[in-house]
Structure 1
């Protein structure tokens, strides 16, 4: 019988095709490398409806392939259930944070700790900028930030 995940994290950005699926894939790889994947429930979602049903941005997929990380996700929007089923909801910028705090205020028994993923960055870069209108280098920057933040987050939760 499979063990039930004891911890859960939802990564959130605006469209759920760039930053949050990268963070999700990076974190998934980290917990696999640490052999603790059975302890975690991991997903990502969007604050908006713009990209629902779409795969991650092709530039993000290329960046992840370059680093040998599997990315398999279809964009979805944050649901009411997410606020009381996830332990952590980690988002990428102040706009995401405002949207999530507003939505969580309408939820009774919100158990999720909602914060910026960047609060875990050892380099103290709070905001993970949206690379959508950028280039491959911007996706690489997001990847590197996500690696630092996710490693630090995992260490703090272990």
Structure 2
């Protein structure tokens, strides 16, 4: 019997920094553990302002140095995402509020989680937006995402037993 894939959607404001990075970090972890046949990963933004664009060049550069490939193109969250994904993971409280407002029903609201809820090192309660900051902000985002993605993967594997 074929096991159904778990589908994850990472969400930030514009889908050019944090959520495509979360997507890339999680994809690499899943591939390294040979779980890509069990877990599907995507990302989207609350707003569609950057739709069709690649991730921010600074974010891509920092991620690349750590071995991550940010290949996705920005897209906005759409109603079908709430039906097509098992978990919808926002980067901060504003993303969570916006996702809950967009959710078409209560079942969809229950799919919404905050990225840092899966962090093992509880140093931040959100993944800060690095867009208007310097290099340290992009590195912090990657540090937080690596930690939280490990925790998320542990959570998924423990739930699927």
Place the TM-score, normalised by the shorter chain, in its bin: over 0.9
> 2:133 matched to which residue of 1?
134
> 1:10 matched to which residue of 2?
9
> Superposition pairs for residues 100-115 of structure 1, below 5 Å?
100-104=99-103, 106-107=104-105, 110=108, 113-115=111-113
Q: CA offset at residue 108 of structure 1?
A: 7.2
> Superposition pairs for residues 81-120 of structure 1, below 5 Å?
81-104=80-103, 106-107=104-105, 110=108, 113-120=111-118
Question: How big is the alpha-carbon RMSD for the aligned residues of Structure 1 and Structure 2?
Answer: 1.5
- Any gaps of 5 or more consecutive residues in structure 1? none
> Superposition pairs for residues 5-154 of structure 1, below 5 Å?
6-104=5-103, 106-107=104-105, 110=108, 113-124=111-122, 125-154=124-153
Contact 2:22-2:145 within 8 A present in 1 as well: yes
Q: CA offset at residue 71 of structure 1?
A: 1.5
Partners of 2:146 and 2:84 in 1: how far apart? 24
Q: Residues 30 and 53 from structure 1, CA distance in 2 versus in 1: closer, same or farther, beyond 3 angstroms? A: same
* Number of aligned residue pairs: 155
Q: CA offset at residue 137 of structure 1?
A: 1.2
Partners of 1:129 and 1:5 in 2: how far apart? 33
Q: CA offset at residue 5 of structure 1?
A: 5.1
Contact 1:47-1:100 within 8 A present in 2 as well: yes
Q: Secondary structure at the match of 2:128?
A: coil
- Any gaps of 5 or more consecutive residues in structure 2? none
Provide TM-score, normalisation by structure 1. 0.93
Provide TM-score, normalisation by structure 2. 0.91
Partners of 1:4 and 1:112 in 2: how far apart? 22
Partners of 2:58 and 2:134 in 1: how far apart? 8
